[in-house]
Every structure is written in structure tokens, then in C-alpha cells.
Amino acid sequence: MSNPGFDQLAAAQKANAEVMMALVRTAFNGVERLTALNISASREFFNNSVANVHQLLSARDAGEITKLNTELAKPNLDKWMEYSRNVYDLAAQVQKELTSVVETQFNTFAKDASSAVEKASASAPMGGDVFAAAMKSVLDASSKAFDNMTAVTRQFTDLAEANLQAASSSTGKAASATSAAAKKAAK
């Protein structure tokens, strides 16, 4: 013979464990992708640094060193901006994946809680409908709060993305201007 309360509790615990595993799995995948990105960027930085040092060592005078420094700075700045964009994109992807898991879990919880309140109010004694109405009000308020929190998170994400694009645009323009000025001074 099975105990319905125990079965529900066991099912809830199993569902919570699955959600936690999904969150941990998503976080580990994000860390793994970030580590791969960092290793790749470090390797590229090292190889470029070695090549740049060889070019600088082959310079014959101070003017040529200045010219080389200017020419070598822009590609490095472009690579740094690309790396920054990749880190941001990765963080945004992981955030979306985590948010999706949390939203799914919250929606399931809200649906199950609403169903439980409906069942309880149907079989409740006199005056139980007041409690059911209060519980429905609490569930509606928590759903609205969760929706507002999700909307604010999306707004912050959009703002951060816009700021990153503006920063990369202005940095690229500043690097081009600095490069042009250095070339002019070297002549």
C-alpha cells in the first residue's frame, strides 16, 4: 500500500534534484567553454607576442620601432575586443540557459500549487474558500514578481549588450585615430 503524501514528497524531491542537476550541468558546461576560450586566447596571445618581439628586434632604428608598435597595436586591440565579445556572448548564453531552467521550474511549481489549491478548495470545509482565495492571491503575486524579475533581467542584458557594442565601436575608432596619428608622426 502506498502513501499518497509520501509519493508526492518523493516526486517533488526527485524533480528538485533533477532541476539542481540541470543547473549544475549548465554551469559546468559554461565553465568548460570559458576555459577553452581562455586557453585558445592565451595560446594566440603568446604566439602573437613572440612574432611581435621578432619584428621589433629586426627594427633598425627608433622610427621603425615606433611604426611597428603602432602597426602591431591595432590587431592586438581588435583581438582583445573579440575576446571580450566572446566572453560576453558566453556569459549571456549561460545566463539564458540558467534562466530557462529556473523559468520552467517556477512555471511547473506555480501550476502544481494552483492545482493543489483548487483541489483543496473543492474539498475544504466551510470557510476554506477564504484560504483558497488567499493562496491564489499569493500565487498570482509571486508569478507577477517572477515575471517582473525576468523582465528586469532581460533589460539589464540588453543594456549590457548595447554598452559592449558602443564600447567596441568607440575603441575601434580610437585605435584607428591613434594609428593614423602615429603613422603621420613617423613620416
| pLDDT, tens digit, 9 for 90 and up, residues 4-35 | 667 777 777 888 888 889 999 999 999 999 99
| pLDDT, tens digit, 9 for 90 and up, residues 156-182 | 777 777 777 776 676 666 556 655 655
Residue 59 sits in which domain range? 4-186
For position 163, what pLDDT does the model report?
74
CB 30 within 8 A of CB 90: yes
Angle of CA points 38, 39, 42, to nearest 5° = 80
CB 26 within 8 A of CB 101: yes
Number of alpha carbons in the 13 Å side-chain half-sphere of residue 6:
3
All three cell numbers of 86, joined, read 566572446
CB 166 within 8 A of CB 54: no
- pTM score, whole prediction: 0.65
Domain count, the chain: 1
For position 176, what pLDDT does the model report?
62
Task: Work out the pLDDT band at 73, boundaries 50, 70, 90.
Answer: confident
Q: Which range among 49-63, 80-94, 156-170 shows the weakest confidence by mean pLDDT?
A: 156-170
